[in-house]
Amino acid sequence: MDTILPIIAGAIFATGIYLLLRRSLILTIIGIILISNSVNLALFSLGRLTTENPPLIKAGSLEPLTPFANPLPQALILTAIVIGFGLLAFALALAYRSYRELGTVDQDELLQDAEDTSATIVPKEDYKEGGDS
C-alpha cells in the first residue's frame, strides 16, 4: 500500500496538470478537482499508513489498543476536503456564470478583449444632487 499510494497520487496529479492546461473551462475545473484529490492522497500516505487498530478508546479503558493508526492526517484531509468542496462549488458557479454571460467555455474566447476596462464602472447617477448612496 505505502508504495502504491504515492505512485497513484503522482499519476492523478499529472493527469490533473494535463487537464488544467486544456482550453475548456470545464476540463480545467476537473483538473483542479483531480489535483486536489491527489494532494489529499499524498497527505494521507505521508501520514504513515498502518493496518493497525482504529484510534478509538474502548469503554472502560483509558487508552486505545496499541499500535493504533494516526488519526491526525485524516482530520487534516477532512478539513482540506471541506474547504476544497466549498471552493469548487464557487469555481463551478463562476464558470457557469461566465458561460451565461460570455456564451462560451473556450478559454481563448472567454478571455478575449479583456483589455477594454474603460466601461467597468459607470459613474453614479446621483452625482449632481449628491444623493447619499
Of 128, 105, 117, 118, which Cα lies nearest the Cα of 30? 105
Minimum distance of other proteins from residue 113's CB (angstroms): 9
Residue 30 CA to residue 37 CA, distance in Å, equals: 11
Q: Is 64 an interacting residue with respect to other proteins (CB under 8 A)? A: no
Among 21, 46, 69, 85, binds other proteins (CB under 8 A): 46
Q: Is 114 an interacting residue with respect to other proteins (CB under 8 A)? A: yes
Q: First CA to last CA across the chain, in angstroms?
A: 62
Q: Is 116 an interacting residue with respect to other proteins (CB under 8 A)? A: yes
The cell for 31 is: 483538473
Q: Is 69 an interacting residue with respect to other proteins (CB under 8 A)? A: no
Residue 51 CA to residue 65 CA, distance in Å, equals: 13
Residue 53 CA to residue 60 CA, distance in Å, equals: 17
Q: Is 8 an interacting residue with respect to other proteins (CB under 8 A)? A: no
Residue 133 CA to residue 77 CA, distance in Å, equals: 45
Q: Is 36 an interacting residue with respect to other proteins (CB under 8 A)? A: yes
Binding region for other proteins (CB under 8 A) = 20, 25, 28, 32, 35-36, 39, 42-43, 46-48, 72-73, 76, 79-80, 83, 86-87, 90-91, 94-95, 97-98, 101-102, 107, 110-111, 114, 116-121, 123-124, 127-128, 130, 132-133
